[in-house]
Amino acid sequence: ACATGAYDDAGLRRASAALARGGKGDVERALRLQTWLEAPPDLRPDLFGGHIQVFLTDKGEPRARLATKAVAEIDPQVPDLLQAEQARVHAVAERLKAIAVAEATAALIDLGAAILGAYREAKERRAILDYDDLILAARDLLGRDAGVTWVLFKLDGGLDHILVDEAQDTSPEQWEIVAALAGDFFAGETARPAHRTLFVVGDEKQSIYSFQGAHPEGFALWRDHFAARAKAAQERLVDVEMPESFRSTDAVLGTVDAVFSDAAARDGLLSGDKPIRHLWYRKGQAGLVELWPALVPEEVPEDDPWDAPLDQVSQDSPAARLADRIADTVKGWLDGGEMLLSKNRPVVPGDVMVLVRTRSPFVDRLVRGLKERGIPVAGTDRMVLTEQLAVMDLMALGRFVLLPQDDLNLAVVLKGPLIGLDEESLFDLAHFRKGSLWEELKARRADFPQAHGLLVDLLAQADATPPFEFFAHVLGRDGGRRRILARLGPDANDPIDEFLALALAFERDRVPSLQGFLHWLEAGRAEIKRDLEHGQGQVRVMTVHGAKGLQAPIVFLPDTCSLPARQREARLLWHLDGPEPALLWPVRGDNETALCKNLREAARRRGDQEYRRLLYVATTRAEDRLYVCGHEGKRGRAEGCWYDLVAAVVARPENKAGEVWHVATPQAAPPETDRRPARAADGIV
């Protein structure tokens, strides 16, 4: 109805007649108009798509030109007539998009409600709560409207001081809990003898946990809330700034201040127009910020996709070359006795931290490169165990002993490092077989004695051996670990150890069956989070999020040339300006209304702001030295990336030193006393 609503029939017929006397494009527009005008009213909605094309572009935007100059000379009223219909058509198109968004969103909400209901029922059956449940239940329990006032009364009787740390990462629901606990702190006269305090510590520049609901605006919002409560109670709220940094040298902090002195780079770090300025405590300590040239792809022939797995970093890729350069640099420091001048001692592996934005294949390549050079490395801070090649080989072996008739799985085992058949041997065994692959291997055991003997022995153990003991024998007595490391390199040690640890943990709480363990592991997709806070004398490779609150004398930033992946067109959009939050799901870009586009642009801006806050967190992890490097793709660096932000202040002629740029401060003060305990692994005697 809205498509065929009120329109100027006579005016459009007049415009169509004039267009028919114009150029080729005018004639095409005239035919579309005439087709729509002459159609019966009940068919016009079906033809509205063609009618829209006269007035709107493929992106749904109004066309800049609706008729040529010759048509305007034929009938000067035609441009006005067409513009009036263009405005009507554009409004109708937006309305149709809004209807499509509403229908898709309603369907999504129905589906989501069903999934959440099933999830809630599953938790209730098991009597468990997830992390969000704990927060929401605590908030509801303390809520003054629907909560249990007796709980608040009992808590209030024992609370004198509340400390909120890392307040910039506190979600709105968590702030509501704090507000409920501190409610009576601002009640005025009290019978309590103690002077009660609310102490909030935070830095909005370091708000990087938006995926947990935190946002920097909340920090200022709740500060104003408590300031108003304090004023009403005739108390005072003291806002104390601490610009002095005790961690980093002036070379590092001076560079950070210079990077974020630009208004565009500072957008999203601080509310208002306040500049970012640090005062450094470690005056006169040696410091260094070094910018390496970004590595670019070499000119090589295009590979056939069948030649190698697509998720592997090729040896000659920029990422692989950068990983090798970092590993070689650290190796050179350790072998050459590179001095950490501010502490008056040689550099040790525990001094080095490598920070990345995401856990990409580059991380695995770097860890492998460090291990190949004999450098102690803690590995990555997180890994999905079932995606590690060594674990996949062990799981394939487990599936074989449970079902030997699975030909494809047996082929994986035979080709893998535990057996090690080459392509020709596997083809010879499999191609002319008459039965299953296992039956063929048994029939030709004289040709493959090692493979047959090992698999027969493991089949005999499978039914009666617990999973930990089974895999421990495979890796130890049968030489499986040695074979896997020979094929995959020393970085396979970490996932193997974690796999064995999970097998042992499974046996403690469950019936120790091999089939149960493999099913439990596959269903859970276990993600191992490892505590790298103290380093333990090893190089640490971490995400910036994982390094929050940590520091190291030497920090590398290798992941600097790309921006965060843009959200896909089917992304969920949230409208938060109304009385209640509203969810919008346009499904695809063609359905996006002006409101959806504005919401998406606002979401992208918030993402860009957090991207820059992440750079601030990453750079301020460095105590003495900061090395900024990167690797580009075929399209070069993304505009506005970390590398460009740092290069704008470091890559200047006066800072050029060979192939790199650096900003350095000399050691002009007595060396600091290294308060870390000496460890043999650090090379300290």
Question: Could you tell me the pLDDT band of residue 212, with boundaries at 50, 70 and 90?
Answer: confident
Question: Could you tell me the pLDDT band of residue 533, with boundaries at 50, 70 and 90?
Answer: low
Res. 502: pLDDT tops 50: yes
Phi, psi of 315 (to 5 degrees): -60, -30
- CA angle (621, 624, 628) in 5-degree steps: 65
What contacts 7, CB < 8 A, 6 or more positions away? 85, 88
Question: Could you tell me the pLDDT band of residue 445, with boundaries at 50, 70 and 90?
Answer: confident
Give the mean model confidence (pLDDT) for residues 442-462. Answer: 88
Predicted confidence (pLDDT) per residue in 127-140, tens digit: 888 888 999 988 88
Per cent of the chain over pLDDT 90 is 24
Res. 673: pLDDT tops 90: no
Run of H or E including 86: helix 78-126
Q: Is 541 helix (H, G, I), strand (E, B) or coil?
A: strand
Per cent of the chain over pLDDT 70 is 89
Res. 92: pLDDT tops 60: yes
Instruction: Give me the helix-helix angle, 594-619 and 642-650, nearest 10°.
Output: 50
Question: Could you tell me the pLDDT band of residue 535, with boundaries at 50, 70 and 90?
Answer: low
* C-alpha span between 331 and 119 (Å, rounded): 50
Biggest CA–CA distance in the chain, Å, is 96
Question: Could you tell me the pLDDT band of residue 431, with boundaries at 50, 70 and 90?
Answer: confident
Mean residue pLDDT across the chain: 83
Give the mean model confidence (pLDDT) for residues 400-411. Answer: 91
* C-alpha span between 424 and 430 (Å, rounded): 10
User: Tokens at residue 398, please?
Assistant: 């487990």
* Range scoring the smallest mean pLDDT among 109-113, 367-371, 545-549: 545-549
Give the mean model confidence (pLDDT) for residues 659-684. Answer: 66
Higher pLDDT, 132 or 215: 132
Torsion of CA 253, 257, 259, 262, to 10 degrees: 180
Helix spans in 291-355 (H)? 318-336
In contact, 241 and 194? CB cutoff 8 Å: no
What contacts 381, CB < 8 A, 6 or more positions away? 529, 530, 532, 540, 541, 542, 543, 546
Q: For residue 302, what pLDDT is reported? A: 60
Amino acid at the residue 675: R
User: Tokens at residue 220, please?
Assistant: 């200022």
